[in-house]
Amino acid sequence: MKNFFTSALRLVLATIVLVLVAMAFAGCTVGPKYVKPSVPTTPAYKEEVPASFKETGQWHTGQPADHASRGNWWEIFRDPELNKLEEQVAVSNQNLKIAEARFRAARAAIRFNRAAQFPTIATTPNASYIRNSDYQSSFPSKIQQVSKADLELPFDLSYELDFWGRVRRSVAAAREEAQATAADYETAKLSLQAELAVDYFELRTADAQKQLLDDTVNAYTDNLQLTTNRFKGGVAPKADVAQAQTQLDATRIEDTDVTVQRAQFEHAIAILIGKPPAEFSVAAAPLDLQPPSIPVGLPSESLERRPDIAAAERRVAEANQQIGIAKAAYFPTVTLGGVAGFAGSQGSNWFGWPSGFWAVGPALAQTLFDGGRRRATSETARANYDATVANYRQTALNAFQEVEDNLAALRILEDEAQQQERAVASSKESLQLFTNRYKGGVDTYLQVITAETVELANERNAIDIERRRMDASVLLVKALGGGWDLTQLPAVGSSPVKDY
């Protein structure tokens, strides 16, 4: 009994020594230290970001007092129906549920890798009864064959001492992938919300086009009646009636065709909010909104607000960890192993102190030759890192382009809308003049038809310009990251990743 306790004490002391040695080496991590890559704004990548956007002549930078929503960004359009639809995307959209499930899987991978920081303890209890054959050969031959019982309750311990940081880097890589996946989720949500807003404004534009064409059909119906009466009175030729009828029929076709587009946009919205198209409808209401004033901010803020940029940067950090993991493979693996338990020949002596046994000791494993496998792994990790850096920089450049594109679109379309407004007024005046001249017998009906066609085209183009302005506003908000910012990435000990 005394010997057993002495041995057990030695086991505990040896384990403590080995743990202290492991802790002493805990700060030793091979591989490069992570440095956030710069954005390619100069040939040498010396500047982090450009000082300002090119298209910021009439745009102001974001201020703390700005009233633009930092979360529900769509509220800046002041449309209650749009607000109601947008709130359903995060709850019911199936593609968003896929992204959320991937985030949960990435979060679970952290716990999987972190488990390697703790010992693995296993037990394989077994009980067997062995009886040898009386005819089994033995030496010397006179030894009697006997039966015996074998009862064991062992506990095995295995623990890798993370001298070179392989385990710690694996945990860090999993954490950074979870952060990247969380940003992927936010990117998917922002994209779906923007897509819904665009589809909604397209639908409202179709309503406006439908209203215009309905009014035009009514006007052309009156014109047909006018030309018919003039023909019956002998004032106008039969050709005027034919032209009026042709124009009316063609406009009715356009009026009907708009309903196809509207139905498609309504169906698209239904899918975005997770509903079958048969169970969803939006009441008709012509587009009657003006693009809101959107605080643009500085390019550096775009790097903080865009979840796709954050995801790309986190994957650069993850790739950097993989380089360290590959480098750790060049060093020996040290594992602390131990086994303890009880063994007996029958139940009465199975758990007695004399039945106890134990063994403990470190094991070292070192690859001496692998045909260049570790070198290839290291080169692959380095190449993957370079690729993620390039992807991060390209994502940032794409973000800058998207902001510039939509700033330019809004600036140019605002001027175009004013020009189109004047064109609509001029075409209406021209139509009125030609209509009066036709009624006075001065001009033919062909000139009235030409003026009507020009006037309708100008009014439809005015509606389309407003649609493009609203779409550009949505895309600008999306390019600026919506209401997201870098602080929303899950961090150590924070929700939603509470077990980081």
Q: 380 in a domain, yes or no?
A: yes
Q: What is the pLDDT of residues 274-319, one digit of tens each?
A: 999 999 999 999 988 888 887 776 666 666 788 999 999 999 999 9
Same domain, 178 and 86: yes
The answer to whether the beta carbons of residues 287 and 470 sit under 8 Å apart is yes
Domain boundary among 348, 365, 382: 365
What lies within 8 Å, CB to CB, of 355 at 6+ separation is 342, 343, 344, 349
CATH (domain of 127): 2.20.200.10
Q: In whole angstroms, what is the distance from residue 116 CA to residue 206 CA?
A: 59
Same domain, 216 and 319: yes
Same domain, 192 and 322: yes
Same domain, 429 and 484: yes
Same domain, 42 and 61: yes
CATH (domain of 433): 1.20.1600.10
Same domain, 75 and 43: yes
Domain that holds residue 134: 1-28+120-161+333-365
Dihedral in degrees, nearest 10, Cα atoms 62, 68, 72, 77 = -130
Q: In whole angstroms, what is the distance from residue 354 CA to residue 352 CA?
A: 5
Q: What does DSSP assign to residue 344? A: E
How confident is the model over 337-349, as a mean pLDDT? 78
Torsion 82-87-88-89 (CA) sign: positive
Same domain, 271 and 296: yes
- Res. 77: pLDDT tops 70: yes
Q: 260 in a domain, yes or no?
A: yes
Q: What is the pLDDT of residues 349-390, one digit of tens each?
A: 777 777 787 888 888 888 899 899 999 999 999 999 999 999
Domain count, the chain: 2
Q: Which residue has the higher pLDDT, 495 or 210?
A: 210
Q: Model-level pTM?
A: 0.82
Q: What is the pLDDT of residues 140-157, one digit of tens each?
A: 555 555 556 577 888 888
The candidate with the shortest Cα–Cα distance to 273, out of 89, 37, 487, 10, is 89
Same domain, 16 and 133: yes
Same domain, 17 and 4: yes
Q: 97 in a domain, yes or no?
A: no
- Res. 482: pLDDT tops 50: yes
Q: 106 in a domain, yes or no?
A: no
Q: 340 in a domain, yes or no?
A: yes
Same domain, 344 and 465: no
Q: 298 in a domain, yes or no?
A: yes
Q: In whole angstroms, what is the distance from residue 82 CA to residue 203 CA?
A: 11
How confident is the model over 125-150, as a mean pLDDT? 63
Q: 397 in a domain, yes or no?
A: yes
The candidate with the shortest Cα–Cα distance to 328, out of 253, 397, 381, is 381
Q: What pLDDT score was predicted for residue 46?
A: 44
Same domain, 182 and 289: yes
Q: 173 in a domain, yes or no?
A: yes
Same domain, 226 and 347: no
The interaxial angle of helices 373-439 and 445-479, nearest 10 deg, is: 150
Q: Which two tokens stand for residue 165?
A: 């940081």
